[in-house]
Amino acid sequence: MAKTKTVKEVMIDVFEYPHVPYWFTIGQAMEIIRKSLMTGDKCYYPMAVLVFDEKYNLMGSVTIGDILKGLEPKLKISTLADAEISYVDEDVMTSYETSLFNAESKKNVEKPVGDIMVPAKTFVAPEDSVVKAAIMMIHHNVSLLPVLEDKKKLVGLVKMVNVFDEIANMIL
């Protein structure tokens, strides 16, 4: 069996993704994603921005899924006893839908991305194998993995797509 590739060989440049400081608003991040990742033919998956602190240290990432979650108004938590409707009630679902992503969401776009960011806790080193990267991604449920040199310097990113491709080569 051929030697498995290292992270270094499959990683992409950090500048393929937009970088924002944590105080940028959700609205700014949305604008940036639309302008940088949703134009042209290039396939960006996952669609995300990287979030940095004031000293340009990586803090985490915000995917389009995190943004939608962040925009969703917080619902009043009700108990089972309060519930008068079954979950299939179409009318209620419709009124719920129309209430979503409205006034409250407009307020939420002003929140900083730091509030909805998923902190980067899992890393790989450039010399690590693609297999290790795959394990990390599966077990920590991330699709974009930062590559750190000497556990400090951000040198690249591993996307699940690249890992998938390598694993497929190994197995098939």
Partner 1 sequence: MINLSHHNVIITNMEPLIQREYSKKLYIQLVEILKKKITSDEWPVGSQIPTEDELCKLYDVSRSTVRTAILELVRFGFLKRQQGRGTFVSRKIITAGLTVLTDFKELMLAEGLKYSTKLLVRTMVMPTGDIDKNLGVSLDKHVIYIKRLRSVDKEPLLIKETYVPYHLCPALLKEDVEKNSIFELLESKCGIQITKAKGFVEITYLTKEESSLLKLPKGSPALLFTQQIYADDTVVKFVRMIKRPDRFRYFIEVERKPTFF
Smallest distance, Å, CB 8 to partner 1? 20
Each residue 27-66 as x (binds partner 1 by CB under 8 A) or -, in order, gives -x--xx--xxx-x---------x--xxxxx----------
Instruction: Map 79-116 to HEC letters.
Output: CHHHCCCCCCCHHHHHHHHHHCCCHHHHHHCCCEHHHC
Pick the closest to residue 108 from 69, 71, 66 (CA basis): 71
Nearer to partner 1, 66 or 128 (CB): 66
Contacts of 152 (CB under 8 A, 6+ apart): none
Smallest distance, Å, CB 93 to partner 1? 36
Nearer to partner 1, 113 or 137 (CB): 113
Instruction: Out of 7, 10, 20, 116, name the contact with partner 1 by CB under 8 A.
Output: 20
- Binders of partner 1: how many residues, by CB under 8 A? 19
Instruction: Map 56-84 to HEC letters.
Output: CCEEEEEEHHHHHHHHCCCCCCCCHHHCC
67 forms part of the interface with partner 1 (CB under 8 A) = no
> CA 76 to CA 73: how far, in whole Å?
9
Summarize as ranges the residues that interact with partner 1 (CB under 8 A).
15, 18-21, 24, 28, 31-32, 35-37, 39, 49, 52-56
